Amino acid sequence: MSRLADDMEAVQLGMAAELLEQALEVLGDEDAELGELRPLATKLTEALRDVLRVAQPRAPLGGERTLTAPEG
């Protein structure tokens, strides 16, 4: 089970890295239109939610903050 979780985490992190490259490209384009930014913001939100899901179980016990993402 741990191996499967590690594999899924690796896939999610790889996808997040690709999305970050895409975001940097779009944000660096002064001619980018709103129609490009909305889908990008949606994908970035999904990626951040995935990162929080990965980080939550790794948070130290008794940690100061609880990592949660609003659903929706």
- pLDDT, residue 66, reads 55
Query: Taking 60 as the threshold, does the pLDDT of residue 65 lie above it?
Result: no
The answer to whether position 6 is within a domain reads yes
Tell me the pLDDT tens digit for each residue of 15-26.
Answer: 888 999 999 998
The answer to whether position 65 is within a domain reads no
Q: How many domains, in total, are found in the chain?
A: 1
The answer to whether position 46 is within a domain reads yes
In the chain, pLDDT over 90 holds for what percent of residues? Answer: 14
Ramachandran sector of residue 67 (left: φ over 0; alpha: ψ -120 to 50; beta: rest) = beta
- Measured distance CA(70)–CA(72) in Å, rounded: 6
The answer to whether position 69 is within a domain reads no
The answer to whether position 70 is within a domain reads no
Query: Taking 80 as the threshold, does the pLDDT of residue 1 lie above it?
Result: no
In this prediction, residues 21-42 reach a mean pLDDT of 90
The answer to whether position 64 is within a domain reads no
Structural domain range at position 47: 2-58
Tell me the pLDDT tens digit for each residue of 39-58.
Answer: 999 999 998 888 888 777 77
The answer to whether position 25 is within a domain reads yes
